[in-house]
């Protein structure tokens, strides 16, 4: 049922797309011929001020055609503002936004070839499901027959054909969100923007929708910019994640890059959980770095370009990479760090065990497979973690 949508996307624009769309599509094709990673969406030095409040700060961001990019960050970090700038509901106070090599920041929303799914669905309550989905096509003056065909196709895509005559109020939250998705896809935009679209759904439905959207992304070759504050969601869905903090990108990379090689304290703490230890880098080299902790111990870490020897830094190790052994049984080697600790607390979490460890002045968390022996509170243990699992990050 999606074959014709995919075909028309691949072979050129439909009859409803204006000149801008055609030019955008053809320059994107040229870009694609020049290299798969040529930018499709490009934000350059974008700034957004609300009065004197700088909400987006000198933002550079490029997105490749067909990519799924998540904007991840805490509430207030500027994610929605960036999406509204892309969609055309806001104008940047400085900088440029291009789609397929063409400036779009002066164009109104309906001329940008982007579908938007809002946080609160924003369906029209007085219209049927089918009329809601048809709305973007009416806006674009598509003929009646073609509207009918496309609405049917879009509703098939989200498996809600049977509800086409209902009003939104008669649908569940999950169904309403699928309708909003169908409405964003119905005019076959080359980009879909989504602002926390799954925030209001319960866990099970949210996880199902994550997979459904991921699947639609792959099948239709969509370019998706997806806003979320949920790190698990970003890790599950994205080709790349841009981590935002106060209107700036702290780090952008694949889920594994972001999780395994956080570039800053903010990223290390925002994505997942981590143990941080302050110290000073003593040596760096191709085989790794050594860091002397403020508490005096020398710890080995994986190779890192930065910070250089002499700099203050943080050693970061994830709880799932920390293990414990009976006291006195672990051996320090060049690539294995050990510490002495006392078990402060042991919390059963169903699929794993969380140990809170007292290492002198420092607290550490170890996340252990529940198969391992339990350690009673007060037990003295050796804490073990591999150098390869330790990152040195700037303070």
Ligand X SMILES: Nc1ncnc2c1ncn2[C@@H]1O[C@H](COP(=O)(O)OP(=O)(O)O)[C@@H](O)[C@H]1O
Least distance to Mg ion, CB of residue 11, Å: 36
Count of chain residues binding Mg ion (CB under 5 A) = 1
Contacts of 347 (CB under 8 A, 6+ apart): 353, 354, 355, 356
Stretch of 73-81, 143-151, 311-319, 384-392 lying at the interface with ligand X (CB under 6 A)? 73-81
Q: Does 80 bind Mg ion (CB under 5 A)?
A: yes
For residue 38, the minimal CB distance to ligand X (Å) is: 28
Q: Candidates 70-78, 139-147, 157-165, 206-214 — which segment interacts with ligand X by CB under 6 A?
A: 70-78
In the list Mg ion, ligand X, none, the entry touching 77 (Cβ below 5 to 8 angstroms by class) is ligand X
Among positions 39, 78, 255, 307, the unique one binding ligand X when judged by CB under 6 A = 78
**82/352 Cα distance (integer angstroms):** 38
Among 38, 41, 55, 104, the residue binding ligand X under the rule CB under 6 A is 55
Interface residue with ligand X, options 17, 64, 70, 80 (CB under 6 A): 80
Size of the site for ligand X (CB under 6 A): 11
Q: Which does 144 bind (CB under 5 to 8 A by kind): Mg ion, ligand X, none?
A: none
Which long-range CB contacts under 8 A does 132-137 form with residues at least 24 apart?
Answer: 132/168, 132/179, 132/183, 133/179, 133/182, 133/183, 133/186, 134/186, 135/183, 136/110, 136/183, 136/184, 136/186, 136/187, 137/16, 137/186, 137/187
**Can residue 77 be called a binding residue for Mg ion (CB under 5 A)?**
no
The pattern of x and - marking residues 305 through 344 that bind Mg ion according to CB under 5 A reads ----------------------------------------
Provide the token pair at 343.
Answer: 């078990």
Omega cis (within 30) before 307 = yes
Instruction: Identify the CA nearest to 364 among candidates 387, 388, 338, 333.
Output: 338
For the chain, the C-alpha Rg in angstroms (whole number) is 25
- Answer for which of 73, 136, 253, 319 binds ligand X (CB under 6 A) is 73
By the rule CB under 6 A, 76 interacts with ligand X:
yes
Interatomic CA distance for residues 14 and 97, integer angstroms: 24
Instruction: Name the nearest CA neighbour of 188 among 157, 225, 144, 228.
Output: 157
Across the beta sheet with 39-50, what order do the strands follow? 53-64, 39-50, 94-99, 102-103
Q: Which of 383, 307, 299 shows the shortest CA–CA distance to 344?
A: 383
At residue 81, the 3 state secondary structure works out as helix
Options 65, 79, 183, 318; binder of ligand X; rule CB under 6 A: 79
CB 301 within 8 A of CB 390: yes
* Contact region with ligand X (CB under 6 A), list: 79-87, 125-133, 170-178, 249-257: 79-87
Using an 8 Å Cβ cutoff, are 246 and 77 in contact?
yes
Please report whether residue 50 would count as binding ligand X according to CB under 6 A.
Answer: yes
Q: Per CB under 6 A, which region of 7-15, 49-57, 165-173, 276-284 contacts ligand X?
A: 49-57
Q: How far is the CB of 174 from ligand X (least distance, A)?
A: 22
Residues that bind ligand X (CB under 6 A): 50, 53, 55, 73, 75-81
Residues that bind Mg ion (CB under 5 A): 80
């Amino acid at each position: 049922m999606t074959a014709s949508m995919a075909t028309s996307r691949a072979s050129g624009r439909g009859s409803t797309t204006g000149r801008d769309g055609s030019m955008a599509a053809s320059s994107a094709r040229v870009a694609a011929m020049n290299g798969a990673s040529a930018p499709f969406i490009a934000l350059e030095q974008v700034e957004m001020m609300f009065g004197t409040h700088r909400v987006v700060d000198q933002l550079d961001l490029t997105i490749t055609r067909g990519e799924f990019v998540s904007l991840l960050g805490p509430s207030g970090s500027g994610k929605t503002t960036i999406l509204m700038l892309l969609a055309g509901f806001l104008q940047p106070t400085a900088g440029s936004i291009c789609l397929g090599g063409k400036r779009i920041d002066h164009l109104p929303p309906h001329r940008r070839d982007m579908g938007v799914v809002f946080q609160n669905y924003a369906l029209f309550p007085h219209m049927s499901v089918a009329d809601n989905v048809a709305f973007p096509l009416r806006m674009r003056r598509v003929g009646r027959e073609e509207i009918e065909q496309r609405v049917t196709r879009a509703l098939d895509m989200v498996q809600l054909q049977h509800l086409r005559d209902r009003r939104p109020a008669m649908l569940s939250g999950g169904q309403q969100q699928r309708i909003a998705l169908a409405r964003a896809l119905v005019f076959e935009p080359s980009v879909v923007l989504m602002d926390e679209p799954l925030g209001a759904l319960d866990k099970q439905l949210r996880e199902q929708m994550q997979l459904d959207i991921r699947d639609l992304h792959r099948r239709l070759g969509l370019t998706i910019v997806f806003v979320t504050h949920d790190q698990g969601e970003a890790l599950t869905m994205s080709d790349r994640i841009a981590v935002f903090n106060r209107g700036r990108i702290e780090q952008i990379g694949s889920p594994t890059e972001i999780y395994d090689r956080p570039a800053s304290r903010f990223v290390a703490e925002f994505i997942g959980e981590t143990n941080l230890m302050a110290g000073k880098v003593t040596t760096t080299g191709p085989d790794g770095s050594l860091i002397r902790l403020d508490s005096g111990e020398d710890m080995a870490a994986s190779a890192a370009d930065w910070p250089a020897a002499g700099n203050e830094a943080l050693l970061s190790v994830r709880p799932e990479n920390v293990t414990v052994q009976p006291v006195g049984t672990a051996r320090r080697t060049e690539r294995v760090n050990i510490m002495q600790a006392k078990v402060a607390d042991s919390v059963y979490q169903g699929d794993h065990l969380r140990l809170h460890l007292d290492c002198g002045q420092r607290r550490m968390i170890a996340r252990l497979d529940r198969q391992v022996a339990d350690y009673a509170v007060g037990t003295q243990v050796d804490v073990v973690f591999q150098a390869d699992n330790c990152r040195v990050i700037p303070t």
